[in-house]
With several copies, the nearest count.
Chain A
Amino acid sequence: MNDPLVIAGRELRSRLITGTGKYSSPEAMRDAVVASGCELVTVAVGRIDLDSVEEAITDHLPEGVTLLPNTAGSATAEEAVRIARLARAGGLPDWIKLEVIPDPRWLLPDPVETLKAAAQLVGEGFTVLPYVLPDPVLQRKLEAVGCAAVMPLASPIGSGSGLKLRHTIEIMVEQAEVPVVVDAGLGAPSHAAEAMELGADAVLVNTAIARADDPAAMARAFRLGVEAGRTARLAGLIEERETAEPSSPLGGLAARP
């Protein structure tokens, strides 16, 4: 219903991307993905356990959604590149959510290794969407090496804390040459709406939906929140003002001079 988002020449009607992690069941995941209306869903790549081969998560996804593989589990550029190559060779899309995360406590990305892997993967023909701390200078470097979008985190993964780093995300949006997708830490639809209102092009949500009491309903709520925020951005939000301004005439029944 909104204006389409274009990443690497591809038009996306939905500005909400969802993850597939942390659901209580594959069915809950599928229902939430459907309710979210998203076209892109992220997946990780992991070793198959030969002793207990479960169904593939991909068997549970609705028709028409596109997989966005990530490089979760990579602490270095080399590991991330290895996962990206394996995913593509095995038939997954050549879009990659690049995450290089050395720190298991805060799950924050490594700017140097991420930039190195991004340059390598772009050179190999991948469409690269790097997960980054909101860093406007790093953003410029990632744009310069040819990334298709940048994915700054709002707050640590899974924290649900919202736009704790709003200030640097605003700067990124102001100077963006490729889409800015706010990723990680969005805990409520109001956070997603806020991100869209300040000019983000899209958001990625996982924990807040997967861990809700009713994931499908929460997915719908985020869809509405993203659409609300985008619509408001385009409709021209009012400026915040220090003082009050009446919405009703102050005269009431008194005679007006």
Chain B
Amino acid sequence: MTVTVNGRAQEAAPGETVETLLERLGLAARYALVERNGEPVERERYGATALEDGDTLVVARPVAGG
């Protein structure tokens, strides 16, 4: 299936979760902030949140700021 991550299409295996996706993308889950289809995903649910075909994800994190 295909999901969109930060505007880019990504192939995702069936059963892919937010957590496994982040790992595949080389993003330490630590401090990765995830929005799925416009809704924020609770960190505790990264592992339990299975992705679905067509999901749109935004992955963000803390950056330098004032």
Contacts and interface: CB of A to CB of B under 8 A. Distances in A.
Contacts of B25: 50, 53
A89 B43 contact: yes
Given A45-B61, A86-B35, A50 B43 contact: no
Contacts of B28: 56
Contacts of B60: 45-48, 86, 90, 253
Contact of B33 (A29, A45, A57, A249): A45
B55 interface: no
Contacts of A92: 31, 33, 62
Nearest to B65: A44
A63 B27 CA distance: 22
Contacts of B27: 48, 53
Interface string B36-63: 0000111100000000000000111111
A90 B6 contact: no
A23 to B, nearest CB: 7
Contacts of A69: 62
A194 B26 CA distance: 47
Given A47-B58, A53-B27, A87 B64 contact: no
B65 A20 contact: yes
Query: Which of A19, A90, A204, A253 is the most central at the interface, judged by chain B CB atoms within 10 Å of its CB?
Result: A90
Most buried by A among B34, B40, B41: B40
Contacts of A243: none
Interface in A42-101: 42-50, 53, 56-58, 67, 69-70, 72, 82, 85-92
Contact of A56 (B43, B59, B61): B61
A22 interface: yes
A207 interface: yes
A206 interface: yes
A255 interface: yes
Contacts of A42: 65-66
A43 B64 contact: yes
Given A47-B6, A50-B5, A255-B7, A90 B64 contact: no
Contact of A21 (B40, B41, B64): B64
Residue of A21, A56, A253 ringed by the most chain B CB atoms within 10 A? A56
Nearest to B63: A46
B17 to A, nearest CB: 15
Contacts of A175: none
B54 to A, nearest CB: 18
A22 B65 CA distance: 8
Given A56-B28, A72-B66, 9 more contacts: A44-B63, A45-B62, A53-B25, A56-B31, A58-B61, A89-B43, A157-B66, A253-B58, A255-B7
